[in-house]
Amino acid sequence: MSFAKVTVVGNLGADPELRYMPNGNPVTSFSICANERRGSGEDRTEKQLWFKANVFGNSAEAVATHLKKGDPVYLEG
């Protein structure tokens, strides 16, 4: 058995989108922009990394209600 875990810290790239599945369960989709910084001084580079995520159930409704574009987020899963 293998297991992978991802942690993303960044900002919402757009307002979350709440929708409902055919069975009535809520699902919210959103994008996160995280900046990857390497080096220092003149050798410093910065790259934007984009991630897409979905949350379900009560978490979906909370994200859609309380978060908006630009808000800082911590995602683990």
User: 17-71 has which fold?
Assistant: OB fold (Dihydrolipoamide Acetyltransferase, E2P) (2.40.50)
Domain ranges of the chain: 17-71
Question: Quick one: tokens of 42?
Answer: 């003149």
Tens place of pLDDT for every residue, the chain, 77 residues?
A: 889 999 999 999 999 999 999 999 999 999 999 999 898 888 889 999 999 999 999 999 999 999 999 999 999 98
3-state helix, strand, coil in the chain (%, to 5): 15, 50, 30
Question: Quick one: tokens of 61?
Answer: 């409704």
Q: Which helix (H) or strand (E) holds 59?
A: helix 58-66
Q: Is 33 exposed, middle or buried (0-12, 13-18, 19+ CB in 10 A)?
A: middle
Global pTM value: 0.82
CA atoms within 13 A on the CB side of 46: 5
